[in-house]
């Protein structure tokens, strides 16, 4: 159990701390300014966050190891405050001096014994009747508040006789006069100044403890609040009390006023002005001290950075408890006052005194370093268990009045304070990794990345579309232009050709006609040569003209060709553009793929964290259930008892709530993701994931889903491929759970499960691994259909091989497997579907069975007794059983077994076997 306040922490040895009666009187020098063990522990040695940097054994508070259990020692600090004389005392005590004389500069108080003699006491602070509320806060409470902000528990308590100013010191709201504000209000002001609104939280409960009943001052109808103590950490909590989140000072003051009104109403009902109850204000401060904020807030799009710097934020939890105790009158005086009054009032006085005297006793015990601190004697001390003299920084202000008439009370208050000064504290930093908030933040971050990714993808797609469209437009434009130009050229060329041909034809016609006329003329003149030469000249001219025309045509053709070339180069240019656009598209696609990859990584991280959360929830669930069962470790006859506990249906309401949250988480993470983590590269993640799967497999409702999602195959693969024994142990446990179901048993066999389980058993060193493997095989042994296959694949041999371990847990599972197998065999032989002797006997199980038939562990013994009875039911086994010594065991069982049903079964079996009967007769054994 962890060191806690009244409950556990013991002072170190200190010579001056010898007797209860010893005090810090100046004639017994004892330094009250520093801790003799650690002189650095004056309140001044705290830095601004209330953390010590180099105290021996300190936690290294600035970096804060979440699991470190070491503590920082420190003493309960005690201040004494004197109330000024009130009007009545001014008159009644006018002729008398005050019963105390204060020497604040020496931090001393003198308590008058008589006119000439007084006792002197030292305190950490001596506050005169003139001390301002501000000063009182600063010396009494401020260091505690700073400590709370630094992640420690802190307590401020006021103790004193009725009417001496406890409520004045702690609870004044100071609404009309701010200088009058008490410790509660000022403490909250400092707390608000020390927290950041975005990441931190402050919540309060306000209670009163009256006649051993705790009432909620925010909701007085809630008046039976119980105290819950965490057995591990010793932390005290009040789950039934209202816990109100507060965001600003104003709402706190309003709440306090409401609480005060309820307290006042309760006191009025009791017809008294003084508070007869103890009022307790609890302030819970949660501060985030580092984390992934910086990494997450850099929205530079580089999500891999986020993954690399993944570190859960550290949350420091501090609890400030401010206790305004009821008046500390001595019981004899109260009884005297109350003599003749109603019995209730006497009871009440006793009850107040009971809790105060219990507090006193605890303080005495702590101051004396006594081995027993009677913390359980009252609700007050139970409530303050983690807040006083334990892991908390504690400050006590004792209030006294000046009147010599109350010298007795004042003396007893002073002695109380003196003893409290000797109580040592062991401060413990309350830090934990806030996986939930990390997962939440990562979720938000992932959402952002996904949204950004989707946005980018959309704009990339749009861009791609635009570029493609533009390129296509350009191409079709160029193509269109090219086609138009070609067509134009073709038409033009055609027209020109036609024109030229027409012209030539016309000319040719003209020439023909001319020739015909000239021919006629020649014929008439008879001078042909002259005429011919004229015709030739015309023909030459004609040819020259035609040549010109042809040259012109050639030029036109050339121009058209150039135009075509030009268009072709334009087309090539467009194609180039298209290629560039394509490579751009490819680049964009690659970026998209990278993004998707990052997203997947982040999802993996989240799944891993959520699976851790799931595991933590399971652990909590399991612990809660164990606690619910009163911590008794019931040995369950089935499988792994821890896993079996998870199947217990009788969960209480809280358990159901927890289960619901597990189911929700399970839903959120998704089985596939959890299963995929079984193959993670990081061994820790694999171990973690297999634990989660094992826990899930413990729930019958999850088993089918796990098998369907391929979980069984993954678990068997882990047995085959992993070299880690923890993984083997947990995976075998999960397989054992899945093997509770007949369908799964067949699947396990079909996937070579026996081989992997046998292999695991052969390599196992930890008996718990063997227990899980044996448990899994034992379950398979109970399936009638699998008998031959199981034996054929070495299942029985594997079971028998595990007895080497000698560990009773392993032997119990082996025995259970053998009993299951024997039962199936005897059923099969009764039904006539089995011939021949038992496969168990064939595989050599009988000697071990006989050897352990009277094993001292009842669980093993019972299984074996049953196995023997089952084996004996088949006549074909009788000879082997006789020669192996099993008959003797059967006889013993039939006579001595403490379970009647087994005794009867053994008797019936012996009676029905003629071979056994003959042997018994031969040996002259009566049966």
Which member of 4, 147, 167, 852 binds ligand ATP (CB under 6 A)?
A: 167
**177 near 244, Cβ under 8 Å?**
no
Contact call for residue 813 and ligand ATP (CB under 6 A): no
The interface region with ligand ATP, picked from 33-41, 158-166, 187-195, 581-589 by CB under 6 A, is: 158-166
Residue with the two structure tokens 């299942």:
795
Does residue 102 sit in helix, strand or coil?
strand
Footprint (CB under 6 A) of ligand ATP, residues 235-274 = 274
The interface region with ligand ATP, picked from 164-172, 246-254, 847-855, 882-890 by CB under 6 A, is: 164-172
Say how far apart CA 849 and CA 840 lie, in whole Å.
10
Q: How far is residue 473 CA from its own chain's centroid?
A: 58
Q: How far is the CB of 176 from ligand ATP (least distance, A)?
A: 13
- Longest C-alpha distance within the chain, in Å? 190
**Rg value, the chain, Cα:** 48
Backbone angles phi, psi at 881, to 5 degrees: -65, -40
The interface region with ligand ATP, picked from 67-75, 165-173, 698-706, 779-787 by CB under 6 A, is: 165-173
**DSSP H helical ranges for 379-434:** 379-383, 407-420
Residues pairing with 400 in the sheet: 82
Indicate the residue among 82 and 467 with the shorter CB distance to ligand ATP.
Answer: 82
SS3 content of the chain, % helix, strand, coil (to 5): 60, 10, 30
Say how far apart CA 3 and CA 70 lie, in whole Å.
9
Contacts of 922 by beta carbon, 8 Å cutoff, 6+ apart: none
Say how far apart CA 760 and CA 769 lie, in whole Å.
8
Indicate the residue among 83 and 688 with the shorter CB distance to ligand ATP.
Answer: 83
Q: How far is the CB of 352 from ligand ATP (least distance, A)?
A: 10
Indicate the residue among 344 and 440 with the shorter CB distance to ligand ATP.
Answer: 344
Q: How far is the CB of 21 from ligand ATP (least distance, A)?
A: 26
Contacts of 381 by beta carbon, 8 Å cutoff, 6+ apart: 6, 355, 358, 359, 362, 374, 375
Indicate the residue among 82 and 778 with the shorter CB distance to ligand ATP.
Answer: 82
Indicate the residue among 406 and 791 with the shorter CB distance to ligand ATP.
Answer: 406
Which member of 291, 327, 417, 775 binds ligand ATP (CB under 6 A)?
A: 327
Say how far apart CA 714 and CA 701 lie, in whole Å.
19
Q: How far is the CB of 324 from ligand ATP (least distance, A)?
A: 7
Indicate the residue among 141 and 732 with the shorter CB distance to ligand ATP.
Answer: 141
Contact call for residue 166 and ligand ATP (CB under 6 A): yes
CA distances from 286 to 93, 201, 320, 610 (A): 50, 5, 11, 22
Indicate the residue among 9 and 210 with the shorter CB distance to ligand ATP.
Answer: 210
Indicate the residue among 163 and 390 with the shorter CB distance to ligand ATP.
Answer: 163
Q: How many residues bind ligand ATP (CB under 6 A)?
A: 16
Contacts of 304 by beta carbon, 8 Å cutoff, 6+ apart: 598, 601
Indicate the residue among 84 and 657 with the shorter CB distance to ligand ATP.
Answer: 84
Indicate the residue among 167 and 913 with the shorter CB distance to ligand ATP.
Answer: 167
Short-list 399, 422, 329, CA closest to 158:
399
Indicate the residue among 163 and 775 with the shorter CB distance to ligand ATP.
Answer: 163
**457 near 163, Cβ under 8 Å?**
no
The interface region with ligand ATP, picked from 9-17, 61-69, 161-169, 443-451 by CB under 6 A, is: 161-169
Say how far apart CA 389 and CA 285 lie, in whole Å.
20
Q: How far is the CB of 278 from ligand ATP (least distance, A)?
A: 10
Site string (390-429) toward ligand ATP, x via CB under 6 A: ---------x------------------------------
Indicate the residue among 83 and 863 with the shorter CB distance to ligand ATP.
Answer: 83
Residue with the two structure tokens 């998209």:
592
The interface region with ligand ATP, picked from 156-164, 390-398, 412-420, 541-549 by CB under 6 A, is: 156-164
Contact call for residue 182 and ligand ATP (CB under 6 A): no
Contact call for residue 168 and ligand ATP (CB under 6 A): yes
Q: How far is the CB of 167 from ligand ATP (least distance, A)?
A: 3
Which member of 165, 390, 417, 817 binds ligand ATP (CB under 6 A)?
A: 165
Site string (32-71) toward ligand ATP, x via CB under 6 A: ----------------------------------------
Q: How far is the CB of 162 from ligand ATP (least distance, A)?
A: 4
Q: Give the chain's length.
A: 927
Indicate the residue among 397 and 712 with the shorter CB distance to ligand ATP.
Answer: 397
Indicate the pairing of strand 125-127 with strand 236-237: unpaired
Which member of 74, 150, 160, 312 binds ligand ATP (CB under 6 A)?
A: 160
**DSSP H helical ranges for 246-290:** 249-269
Which two structure tokens, joined as six digits, stand for 320?
Answer: 């400030």
Contacts of 295 by beta carbon, 8 Å cutoff, 6+ apart: 305, 306, 309, 310
Indicate the residue among 167 and 769 with the shorter CB distance to ligand ATP.
Answer: 167
Helices (H) and strands (E) in the chain, counts: 35, 17
Which member of 4, 155, 164, 303 binds ligand ATP (CB under 6 A)?
A: 164
Which two structure tokens, joined as six digits, stand for 485?
Answer: 């130009």
Say how far apart CA 327 and CA 353 lie, in whole Å.
9
Say how far apart CA 59 and CA 883 lie, in whole Å.
68
**845 near 798, Cβ under 8 Å?**
no
Backbone angles phi, psi at 233, to 5 degrees: -95, -15
Indicate the residue among 87 and 524 with the shorter CB distance to ligand ATP.
Answer: 87
The interface region with ligand ATP, picked from 160-168, 498-506, 548-556, 790-798 by CB under 6 A, is: 160-168
CA distances from 798 to 538, 762, 818, 821, 907 (A): 123, 8, 12, 14, 32
Indicate the residue among 84 and 844 with the shorter CB distance to ligand ATP.
Answer: 84
Backbone CA torsion sign across 403, 404, 409, 410: positive
Contacts of 320 by beta carbon, 8 Å cutoff, 6+ apart: 144, 145, 148, 153, 154, 155, 156, 187, 191, 281, 282, 283, 285
Say how far apart CA 220 and CA 265 lie, in whole Å.
10
Q: How far is the CB of 628 from ligand ATP (least distance, A)?
A: 40
The interface region with ligand ATP, picked from 159-167, 656-664, 881-889, 898-906 by CB under 6 A, is: 159-167
Say how far apart CA 700 and CA 696 lie, in whole Å.
8
Footprint (CB under 6 A) of ligand ATP, residues 82-101 = 83-84, 86
Q: How far is the CB of 84 from ligand ATP (least distance, A)?
A: 5
Which member of 35, 38, 155, 162 binds ligand ATP (CB under 6 A)?
A: 162
Contact call for residue 277 and ligand ATP (CB under 6 A): no
Indicate the residue among 364 and 399 with the shorter CB distance to ligand ATP.
Answer: 399
Which two structure tokens, joined as six digits, stand for 82?
Answer: 């004197």
Footprint (CB under 6 A) of ligand ATP, residues 66-85 = 83-84
Footprint (CB under 6 A) of ligand ATP, residues 290-309 = none
Q: How far is the CB of 250 from ligand ATP (least distance, A)?
A: 24
Q: How far is the CB of 192 from ligand ATP (least distance, A)?
A: 25
Does residue 903 sit in helix, strand or coil?
helix
Indicate the residue among 162 and 820 with the shorter CB distance to ligand ATP.
Answer: 162
Q: How far is the CB of 319 from ligand ATP (least distance, A)?
A: 23
Binding site for ligand ATP (CB under 6 A): 83-84, 86, 160, 162-168, 274-275, 326-327, 399
């Amino acid at each position: 159990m962890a060191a806690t306040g009244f409950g556990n922490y013991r002072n170190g040895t200190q010579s001056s701390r010898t007797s209860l009666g010893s005090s810090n009187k100046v004639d017994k020098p004892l330094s009250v300014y520093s801790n003799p063990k650690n002189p650095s522990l004056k309140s001044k040695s705290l830095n601004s966050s209330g953390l010590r940097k180099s105290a021996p054994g300190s936690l290294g508070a600035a970096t804060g190891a979440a699991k470190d259990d070491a503590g920082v020692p420190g003493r309960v600090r005690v201040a004494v405050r004197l109330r000024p004389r009130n009007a009545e005392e001014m008159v009644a005590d006018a002729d008398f001096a005050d019963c105390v004389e204060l020497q604040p500069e020496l931090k001393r108080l003198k308590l008058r014994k008589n006119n000439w003699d007084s006792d002197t006491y030292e305190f950490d602070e001596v506050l005169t009747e003139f001390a301002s509320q501000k000063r009182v806060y600063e010396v009494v409470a401020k260091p505690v508040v700073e400590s709370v902000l630094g992640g420690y528990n802190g307590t401020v308590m006021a103790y004193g006789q009725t009417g001496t100013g406890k409520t004045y010191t702690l609870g004044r709201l100071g609404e009309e006069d701010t200088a009058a504000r008490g410790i509660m209000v000022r403490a909250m002001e400092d707390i608000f100044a020390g927290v950041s609104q975005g990441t931190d939280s402050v919540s309060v409960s306000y209670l009163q403890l009256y006649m051993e009943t705790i009432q909620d001052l925010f909701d007085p109808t809630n008046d039976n609040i119980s105290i819950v103590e965490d057995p591990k950490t010793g932390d005290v909590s009040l789950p039934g009390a209202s816990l109100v989140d507060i965001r600003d000072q104003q709402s706190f003051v309003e709440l306090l006023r409401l609480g005060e009104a309820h307290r006042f109403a309760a006191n009025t009902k009791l017809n008294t002005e003084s508070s007869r109850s103890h009022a307790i204000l609890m302030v819970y401060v949660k501060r985030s001290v580092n984390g992934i904020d910086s990494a997450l807030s850099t929205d530079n799009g580089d999500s891999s950075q986020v993954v690399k710097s993944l570190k859960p934020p550290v949350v420091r939890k501090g609890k400030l408890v401010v206790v305004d105790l009821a008046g500390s009158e001595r019981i004899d005086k109260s009884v005297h006052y109350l003599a003749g009054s109603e019995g209730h009032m006497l009871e009440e006085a006793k009850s107040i005194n009971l809790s105060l005297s219990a507090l006193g006793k605890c303080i005495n015990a702590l101051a004396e370093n006594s081995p027993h601190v009677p913390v359980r004697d009252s609700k007050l001390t139970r409530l303050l268990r983690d807040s006083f003299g334990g892991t908390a920084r504690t400050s006590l202000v004792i209030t006294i009045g000046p009147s010599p008439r109350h010298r007795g009370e004042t003396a007893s208050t002073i002695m109380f304070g003196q003893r409290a000064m000797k109580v040592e504290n062991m401060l413990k930093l309350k830090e934990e990794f806030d996986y939930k908030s990390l997962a939440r933040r990562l979720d938000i971050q992932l959402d952002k990345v996904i949204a950004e990714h989707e946005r980018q993808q959309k704009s990339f797609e749009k861009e791609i579309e635009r570029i493609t469209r533009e390129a296509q437009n350009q191409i079709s434009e160029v193509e269109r232009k090219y086609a138009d130009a070609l067509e134009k050229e073709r038409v033009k060329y055609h027209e020109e050709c036609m024109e030229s041909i027409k012209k030539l034809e016309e000319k040719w016609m003209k020439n023909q006609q001319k020739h015909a006329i000239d021919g006629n003329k020649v014929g008439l003149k008879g001078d042909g040569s002259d005429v011919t030469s004229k015709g030739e000249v015309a023909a030459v001219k004609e040819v020259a003209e035609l040549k010109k025309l042809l040259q012109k045509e050639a030029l036109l053709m050339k121009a058209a060709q150039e135009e075509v070339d030009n268009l072709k180069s334009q087309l090539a240019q467009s194609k180039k553009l298209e290629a560039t656009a394509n490579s751009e598209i490819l680049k964009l696609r690659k970026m998209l793929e990278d993004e998707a990859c990052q997203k997947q990584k982040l999802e993996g991280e989240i799944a891993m964290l959520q699976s851790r959360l799931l595991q933590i929830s399971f652990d909590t669930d399991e612990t809660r259930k164990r606690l619910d069962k009163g911590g008794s470790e019931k040995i369950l006859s089935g499988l792994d008892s821890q896993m079996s506990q998870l199947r217990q249906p009788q969960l209480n309401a809280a358990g159901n709530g927890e289960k619901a949250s597990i189911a929700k988480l399970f839903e959120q993470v998704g089985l596939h993701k959890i299963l995929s983590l079984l193959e993670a590269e990081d061994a820790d993640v694999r171990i973690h994931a297999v634990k989660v799967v094992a826990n899930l497999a413990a729930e019958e409702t999850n088993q089918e889903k796990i098998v369907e999602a391929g979980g069984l195959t993954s678990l068997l693969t882990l047995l085959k491929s992993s070299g880690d024994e923890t993984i083997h142990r947990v995976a075998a446990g999960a397989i054992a759970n899945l093997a509770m179901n007949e369908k799964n048993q067949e699947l396990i066999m079909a996937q070579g499960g026996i081989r992997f389980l046998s292999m695991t058993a052969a390599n196992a060193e930890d008996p718990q691994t063997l227990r899980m493997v044996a448990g899994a095989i034992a379950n398979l042994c109970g399936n009638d259909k699998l008998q031959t296959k199981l034996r054929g694949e070495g299942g029985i041999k594997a079971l028998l091989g595990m007895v080497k371990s000698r560990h009773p847990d392993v032997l119990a599972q082996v025995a259970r497997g053998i009993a299951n197998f024997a039962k199936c065999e005897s059923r099969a032989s009764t039904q006539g579907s089995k011939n021949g002797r038992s496969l168990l006997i064939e595989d050599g199980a009988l000697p071990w069975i006989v050897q352990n038939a009277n094993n001292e562990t009842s669980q093993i013994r019972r299984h074996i007794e049953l196995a023997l009875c089952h084996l004996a039911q088949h006549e074909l086994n009788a000879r082997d059983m006789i020669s192996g010594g099993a008959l003797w065991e059967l006889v013993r069982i039939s006579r001595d077994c403490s379970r009647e049903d087994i005794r009867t079964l053994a008797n019936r079996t012996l009676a029905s076997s003629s071979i056994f009967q003959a042997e018994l007769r031969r040996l002259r054994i009566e049966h």
